[in-house]
Structure 1
């Protein structure tokens, strides 16, 4: 397999990111809804304070996306949260790990972030394993956290503290 290249998302990536998030295997494990519009993604990917967008590419194909959001409130400016997804056909190839390692490096060394937070559905065992491998710990459970396929699903609150 070719190398995984991590870089900042660019406007030319918007449709590829939208298509990844539109895959049922992807939105099943996120808080996204089916059939995202291009306009919604253009707005979501626009430059905004505290937000960094990364993509993972293999052979110049966008195969994963990660958004870091650094808290803008002064007393939480040391905290970031993130969302991540990888195209279904690219699962189990190290893409998520590469994105998370790059994000951790940015947070630790460039963004003055000491705490990185995330939520993950409790039944998403592969993602939980990747997060734990990268130093994240489960801190609690949100009951009926999000609606998925007509049913409420619990989520873990996880964090990594530098």
Structure 2
């Protein structure tokens, strides 16, 4: 297998990102809704909010996964970032999520002055939980009936990682 390359997302990645996030297994575990439009992805890529970094994981120049990091804009929380991640179903268990997480934590720890990284994950998303725990995230609480998924409310964990000393 070729090496996983992490780079900033580019406009040429639009259709690949839309296709990954249109997979039922992907949007099932995110707050995305089915059938994302190319126009929505164009808007996200062309006009990102201040403090947003968008990374992709590629193998042989094929986009396999995506991670969006958002630094909190409030000056009192400018040491905090949140993120969301998705990995193509066909390319799971290849280390794509771990490669994205390693790049993101390096960016936060060594380049962006981020002391705390926060995330929200559905309690039944075992593969994501395993990756987050591997990278030092801890469960800080549970949101009951956090979001609607397939017609039912699902709980979510609030997790965070404090920069190691």
The TM-score bracket by the shorter chain reads over 0.9
2:90 is aligned to 89
Q: CA RMSD in A?
A: 0.6
1:45 matched to 2:36? The reply is no
Q: 1:141 aligned to 2:142?
A: yes
Counterpart of 2:33 in 1: which secondary structure? coil
TM-score (norm 2): 0.97
Equivalent positions of 1:1-150 (< 5 A) are: 1-46=1-46, 47-150=48-151
Q: CA deviation at 1:93?
A: 0.8
Give how far 1:42 is off.
1.0
Q: CA deviation at 1:43?
A: 1.1
Which stretches of structure 1, 4 residues or longer, exceed 4 Å deviation after superposition?
none
Q: How far apart in 1 are the matches of 2:31 and 2:158?
A: 14
What stretches of structure 1 of length at least 5 have no aligned partner?
none
SS of residue matched to 2:113: coil
Aligned residue pairs, count: 162
The gaps in structure 2 that reach 5 residues or longer are none
Deviation at 1:45, TM superposition (A): 2.0
Q: SS of the counterpart of 1:123?
A: coil
In 2, the alpha carbon distance for the partners of 1:15 and 1:25 equals 18
